[in-house]
Amino acid sequence: MEIVVEPDRRTWENVARRTAFWPLQQDWDYGLAARWQGREVLRLAARDGSDVCGALQLVGRRWFGLAQVWLALRGPVTAPASDTAEAALLAAVPTGLLRANLIAPERPADPASAARWQGRARVYTGHSCAILDLQAKSLAGLRAGLHQKWRNRLTAAERGALRVETATRGKWIDWVVEQYDRVRAAKNFEGPSRDFVVRLAELKAPRETLAVVALDKREPVAGALFLRHGPDASYYVAATAPEGKKKHAANLVLWQGIAALKEAGARRLDLGTVDTDRSPGLARFKLGTGAEALTLAGTYL
């Protein structure tokens, strides 16, 4: 197994197309946005003969110019799933006295994963995220798979006076990001910074960004920014005004995003973290789409 340090983008995206799921945090543009933010980025690819079968992206930060903390979020990713490629990628990560490598692999929290990571200290338990398979069913099948209360709210929003607009660039992306940032500041929750979201959206090709906004008359009351990464997509940031909550605008926005992404050929939609303790309402909203909750293995040192 050969390790390629700093492979080109074409090689990276070839791995992405072959994986069962390609996380946003391992996407090429995510690394570019991190570099723009002043972070260091290391990319490694695993090659078995002529076959590139795995990739690992780490984002690093230096403290006082000496100590380094490197984080691999939802990586390594291999295609197909391969313990050999994963081990080779991890073995190639540089080590040192003043360097800490934190690995949060794209693996479920199950006994097989626990056995695979024996010998490393788990410093954080894995979070849960909601993943919706867009290709397993027709659009009608996806709608039938919505939880009944979720579907009823969607129907009510569709029958109301709300109007939906979409865009790949421009004012609606700006509106969604600004509203998201206000909510993040007011509620003090963890999430990507406004500047990072803006930069990442700018780095994406127009076909890889989608803003969906619901308007009540002429006023936007809910919106979401979806990002494509390889063959998959993320419900990245979203916000709903009080007027939109009364009219179930968030359901309408998310459903319209699901329909557009399915039509565009996206495989899976990552709806983000579900936390039934801290945000039970948001967790119910995401899982109400019929998405499956995936609990990841955790973060290892």
Same domain, 252 and 147: yes
For the cut 90, the answer to whether the pLDDT of residue 82 exceeds it is no
> Residues 66-89: what's their mean pLDDT?
89
115 occurs within a structural domain: no
Residues 58 and 149 in one domain: no
pLDDT value of position 50: 84
pTM of the complete model: 0.95
Same domain, 140 and 71: no
Do 288 and 157 lie in a common domain?
Answer: yes
pLDDT of 191 higher than 90: no
Percent of all residues in the chain with a pLDDT value above 70, rounded to a whole number: 100
User: Which pLDDT score is estimated for 176?
Assistant: 97
Structure confidence at residue 162 as a pLDDT band (50, 70, 90): very high
Mark whether 84 and 134 lie in a shared domain: no
Residues 10 and 44 both lie in one domain: yes
The predicted structure's pLDDT at residue 22? 96
Strands 99-104 and 219-229: unpaired
Residue 122 lies in a domain: no
**Bridge partners, 3 (sequence order):** 46
Of 106, 140, 170, the one marking the end of a domain is 106
Do 70 and 183 sit in the same domain of this protein?
no
Tens of pLDDT, residue by residue over 250-276, are 999 999 999 999 999 999 999 999 998
- Which CATH number fits the domain that encloses residue 61? 3.40.630.30
**Residue 225 covered by a domain:** yes
Q: What is the pLDDT of residues 18-51, one digit of tens each?
A: 999 999 999 999 999 999 999 999 999 999 988 8
Domain match, 96 and 141 both: no
Residue 247 lies in a domain: yes
Domain-located, residue 62: yes
Which domain covers residue 178, as residue numbers?
130-294
From its phi and psi, is residue 70 left (phi > 0), alpha (psi between -120 and 50) or beta?
beta
Domain count, the chain: 2
Separation of alpha carbons 204 and 296, rounded Å: 27
Tell me the C-alpha distance between 190 and 221, whole Å: 23
Confidence of residue 79 (pLDDT cuts 50, 70, 90): confident
The whole-number pLDDT of residue 296 equals 93
In whole numbers, what is the pLDDT of the chain averaged over residues?
94
Together in a domain, 289 and 151: yes
Q: Could you tell me if residue 271 is inside a domain?
A: yes
Q: Is the pLDDT of residue 112 over 80?
A: no
Examine residue 259 and state whether it is found in any structural domain, yes or no: yes
Confidence band for 63, pLDDT divided at 50, 70 and 90: confident
Please state the rounded mean pLDDT for residues 273-301: 93
Q: What percent of the chain has pLDDT over 90?
A: 80
User: Are residues 10 and 142 both part of a single domain?
Assistant: no
CA distances from 44 to 11, 32, 278, 294 (A): 11, 15, 35, 26
User: Got the DSSP string for 31-77?
Assistant: HHHHHHTT-EEEEEEEEETTEEEEEEEEEEEEETTTEEEEEEET--E
18 with 68, same domain?
yes
pLDDT for the residue numbered 103: 95
Structure token digits, residue 106: 């794209």
Q: Final residue of a domain: which of 39, 74, 106?
A: 106
More confident position, 29 or 123: 29
If asked whether residues 100 and 216 sit together in one domain, one would say no
The pLDDT assigned to 117 comes to 75
d(CA 129, CA 28): 21
Specify if 114 maps to a domain.
no
